[in-house]
Amino acid sequence: MNGSAASSADGWSAAERLAAAIERDGPYCVWCSREFTGLVRATREHLVPRVKGGPSVLENELAACSRCNRERGHRSPVQWLDEVAARGREPRPDVLAAGLRRLQRRIDERGGHRRIRDYLRTELRKLERRGSAAHG
């Protein structure tokens, strides 16, 4: 952990959080499954966008390629998951679901972030319905 001015609420720098997300979830974009290489640059993707109250902590971040991160903008995670799938990309819904649950657990354990609690519940419900529809 790093105590620099660029650190987040959890004390980790942006580079440390990105490295931890890649180690945790694998070296592939959550939205298109491209492997991070010299030409495919990894970026921090906020599950709950910062403009919607999402914190800059590891539990709210996944690794995404710069193309998918830039194109997503502030769309909700499940909305963007459906859009990238419709574009012929191969998203990783299991990684997305695990990330949403991790963030929800962090908030349940530590409190705060009232603004995003309903957002998280809604996204998890949509993801579960999407999964049921895909298997039913």
Whether 128 shows a pLDDT value over 80: the answer reads yes
Query: What gap in Å lies between CA 68 and CA 106, rounded to an integer?
Result: 26
For residue 9, being part of any structural domain is answered with no
Per-residue pLDDT tens over the stretch 97-113: 999 999 999 999 998 88
Q: What's the structural domain count of the chain?
A: 1
For residue 52, being part of any structural domain is answered with yes
For residue 3, being part of any structural domain is answered with no
Domain enclosing residue 108, as ranges: 14-135
Per-residue pLDDT tens over the stretch 54-81: 888 899 999 999 999 999 998 999 999 9
DSSP strand pairing (42-46 vs 61-65): antiparallel
For residue 5, being part of any structural domain is answered with no
Q: Could you give the angle at which helices 77-86 and 114-135 cross, rounded to 10 degrees?
A: 40
Query: What gap in Å lies between CA 45 and CA 28, rounded to an integer?
Result: 12
For residue 102, being part of any structural domain is answered with yes
For residue 26, being part of any structural domain is answered with yes
Q: Per-residue confidence at 23, pLDDT binned at 50, 70, 90?
A: very high
Return the exposure string of 57-77: e unless at least 16 CB atoms fall within 10 Å of the residue's CB, then b: bbbbbbbbbebbbebbeeebb
For residue 57, being part of any structural domain is answered with yes
